[in-house]
Amino acid sequence: MAEPRKPAPMRAPPGHAALRAEALGARLPPLVVAADRVAATVLQGVHGRRRSGQGDAFWQFRPYLPGDTAGRIDWRQSAKSDRLFIRETEWEAAQTVAVWSDASRSMEWAFSRDRPTKRQRADLLTAALAALVLRGGERVRLIGGPGRSHAGRAGLASFVEVMGGVAKSRALPSPDPGLPRHARVVLIGDFMAPLPEIHAAIAALAAWPVRGHILQVLDPEEETLGEGNRAYAGRVLFEWGSGGQSILVPRVEEARPVYVERLRHHRQGIAAIAAAAGWGFMTHHLDQPPQAALLALWQALAPQ
């Protein structure tokens, strides 16, 4: 009598793994999927960065700051001058990168439906930068968030969830008392606030002390006031603010040179503020691919 045949093991049909991955991805917020995709095109692989912390290798001497314990003072180095110095050592563990994205009303600028708003692009860049940081084995923190850092590849979803739950109406970041010292900071927005307010915000962060970078996001039509575009000709009504403020410009052609000059002066002021604090400054336009700005930021965050 012939032995009964054992049923052949079940095998997944071709493409099953891809379909499963697609199904899992569908459960994630669209911003997480888009950010991870943008990050993947910029960098493959991970690496750490050097920062101050617990370790044996000497890194640098720095001036004593309020809050430092007396046990960390290097008395031999301090005896060479009239100031107290802290001896810092190298730490190979992960560094914290703190990110902030502007969500004030001016970020809702949209020239056409084919182009994202400044807020959409800023949120994408913020999430994509977080993805790169997490891929590199580092921690990422949202300025203005609940005050916790995210780590690991799985931390991107929780970071984006925090982004969506934070009421971000200010044109500049609020003070973050939980921000780790010597962290890296990246601020993304249009920075249309008055220069004195921008200076105060950057100076407060630089004195913490942290070093950082400013990424100004602008729409090309916004930057040139629609030069060469028929939609910006003759009488144009501009509206802004939650209170419905508006201004009627009789002839945009005549106002354009003054507007362009003032915007140029404003950008120069932001660059000067960043330089004085030892920060970086760059501009990104919405007609450019987000990968270009993300790569520039990632290179700027690389260890010196």
pLDDT in tens, 123-150: 999 999 999 999 888 889 999 887 788 9
Q: Which amino acid is at 18?
A: A
Most confident residue range from 16-30, 81-95, 101-115, 254-268: 254-268
171, two tokens: 């044109």
- Cβ burial of 247 (10 Å; 0-12, 13-18, 19+) is exposed
Mean pLDDT confidence for 182-208: 93
Most confident residue range from 6-10, 12-16, 219-223, 231-235: 219-223
Asked if the model's pLDDT at residue 120 lies above 80, the reply is yes
pLDDT for residue 144: 82
Burial readout 67-76 (b: 16 or more C-beta within 10 A, e: otherwise): eeeeeeebee
pLDDT for residue 227: 83
Handedness of CA 138, 142, 143, 144 (dihedral sign): negative
Q: Which of 92, 87, 125, 67 lies closest to 283 in space, CA to CA?
A: 125
Q: Do 92 and 50 touch, CB atoms closer than 8 A?
A: yes
pLDDT for residue 31: 87
Mean pLDDT confidence for 284-289: 93
pLDDT for residue 168: 64
Q: Which of 135, 141, 177, 183 lies closest to 162 in space, CA to CA?
A: 141
Most confident residue range from 69-78, 82-91, 125-134, 219-228: 125-134
Output 195 or 22, whichever has higher pLDDT: 195
Contacts of 85 (CB under 8 A, 6+ apart): 61, 62, 63, 64, 73, 74, 77, 78
Q: Do 126 and 158 touch, CB atoms closer than 8 A?
A: no
Q: Which amino acid is at 258?
A: V
Asked if the model's pLDDT at residue 73 lies above 80, the reply is yes
Asked if the model's pLDDT at residue 255 lies above 60, the reply is yes
Mean pLDDT confidence for 219-232: 84
pLDDT band at 237 (very low <50, low <70, confident <90, very high): confident
Q: Which of 215, 227, 230 lies closest to 285 in space, CA to CA?
A: 215
